[in-house]
Amino acid sequence: MLIKILILIILLYSYIDTAIYFYHKYNNSNEKYQINNNYKYSSLFAKKIYEFYTKMGFVNLNEVEGNIYSEKKWKPSSDKANEMNIGVHLDKNFILPTMITLASIMDSQINKTKIRFHIAIVLNFSVFDMIKIYSLRYRIREDTEFNFYNASKVEKDLIGLNTRGAGVTSVMLLPQLLPDDVTKLLIFDTGDLIVLRDLTEQYNWDMKDNMYVGVPGQKIGQKSLVTKQIYKNYINIGSFLVNVTKVKNENMYEKFVKYKDYYHSRIGEQDLLNDISFGKVGMYHIKFGNWAPFVNDYKSLTPLHFNKKFEQYFPQNITDYLKTGFTMNVLHQWNGKWMKGEGVTLFRRIIQYYIRYAGIWEETCKQFPGYCIK
């Protein structure tokens, strides 16, 4: 009996949102719960999300809410030409940084663009966590679609690939979880990345025969471990475009699982993707995922590539380098992370704007005080 009780406690702890389901199975209350000052959700909404997600392995929160409340009926966009599918990946410890990045995307896109977020979640991500992110819809743009996918299989399949855990490696699985009407996907890191300009040019980039296209990474010219080739193209997957149809057809995830033991680092999934996809990786201009030209207000980042070999991707002189560094479409601050209190003050102020815009200032400053340094 004691063993049974212990097992039950562990299950309830591991799957906290099951408590919501069983509570409301015997209690038909439709009480309202508040996520922040701008969004309240009902217990019925949480219950229906749980039921659909546990049955299907994914859930569209817009559709669930629309099925409950006729006045909120969700109508998917019929204008595919102006639809933009954007993917992110996370665990529950990275919800607030992710909301910052999503807020910047929603705010920066032109009105005719219909944003569809596709979010890979792992490590017992709860219904409450989904609803918290969904609250951005009512705070910023109601025409935004929020889809969540169970990517928990990477917790075992890709264990050890990245030292930061499954929240990062779930990016490898996300494209293969998507519905068939999604043929391409723009994937972003979150927390150290914000979108400052419209993404239409990047999203509609001619990928040619490539499966992946991204900004050039620093391992160009080095040798891969699996294919044992010298990289002519190597991309940073903090900001990259995916041909979802090709990835599915070639079942890339199974290949990643097969060769995952070759890499084990903070960029293990990036190394593996570039290696296994050798010859099917393209590059576009650095403005689609640039870093700031300064690590902080005092220390500059010396340009690595004033090189004719890559002139179509990189600025070729110091003036263009600095111009691109302050007018990029996507800012990926990997060289001085805001959550650690680093980076240029100018950009940290913009981050603080999006923290407030997302309605998460107090909790973000408490959990990640580096973001809020003045």
| Largest Cα span, the chain | 73
Q: pLDDT tens across 90-149, in order?
A: 999 999 999 999 999 999 999 999 999 999 999 999 999 999 999 999 999 999 999 999
Does residue 347 fall inside a structural domain? no
Does residue 164 fall inside a structural domain? yes
Q: What is the pLDDT at residue 14?
A: 47
Evaluate if residue 11 carries a pLDDT over 50: no
- Fill in the amino acid letter for 52: F
d(CA 269, CA 246): 19
Full domain range(s) for residue 65: 13-73+83-285
For residue 58, how many other CB atoms are within 10 A of its CB? 19
Rg of the chain in Å (alpha carbons): 21
Return mean pLDDT, the chain: 89
Q: Could you give the angle at which helices 43-56 and 61-68 cross, rounded to 10 degrees?
A: 130
Q: pLDDT tens across 186-240, in order?
A: 999 999 999 999 999 999 999 999 999 999 998 999 999 999 999 999 999 999 9
Tokens 């659909």, residue located: 52
| Closest residue by Cα to residue 274 from 329, 309, 229 | 229
Does residue 216 fall inside a structural domain? yes
- The conformation of residue 29, written as its DSSP 8-state character, comes to -
Which residues contact residue 288 at a Cβ distance below 8 angstroms, ignoring those fewer than 6 apart?
202, 214, 215, 239, 328, 329, 330
Structure tokens at 364: 């973000």
Structure tokens at 55: 């049955």
CB 165 within 8 A of CB 300: no
SS3 letters across 39-65: EEEEHHHHHHHHHHHHHHCEEEHHHHH
Number of domains in the chain: 1
Evaluate if residue 155 carries a pLDDT over 80: yes
Q: pLDDT tens across 270-315, in order?
A: 999 999 999 999 999 989 998 888 888 888 776 655 555 566 787 7
Q: Tell me the CATH number at 234.
A: 3.90.550.10
CA dihedral 180, 106, 100, 303 (to 10 degrees): 90
CB 365 within 8 A of CB 374: no
Strand partners, 34: 40
Does residue 127 fall inside a structural domain? yes
d(CA 150, CA 206): 30
**323 burial via Cβ count (<10 Å: 0-12, 13-18, 19+):** middle
Which pTM value belongs to this model? 0.91
Does residue 344 fall inside a structural domain? no
Q: What is the pLDDT at residue 311?
A: 67
Q: pLDDT tens across 88-106, in order?
A: 999 999 999 999 999 999 9
- The conformation of residue 230, written as its DSSP 8-state character, comes to B
CB 280 within 8 A of CB 212: yes
Does residue 372 fall inside a structural domain? no
d(CA 361, CA 37): 12
Q: Is 185 helix (H, G, I), strand (E, B) or coil?
A: strand
The count of residues in the chain is 374
d(CA 366, CA 358): 15
Does residue 300 fall inside a structural domain? no
Q: What is the pLDDT at residue 7?
A: 46
CB 301 within 8 A of CB 294: yes
Tokens 């950009």, residue located: 347
Q: Is 274 helix (H, G, I), strand (E, B) or coil?
A: helix
Does residue 232 fall inside a structural domain? yes
Q: What is the pLDDT at residue 1?
A: 58
**Could you tell me how many helices (H) and strands (E) the chain has, helices first?**
15, 12
| Closest residue by Cα to residue 358 from 100, 176, 106, 60 | 100
- Measured in whole angstroms, the distance separating CA 140 from the mean position of its chain's CA atoms is 18
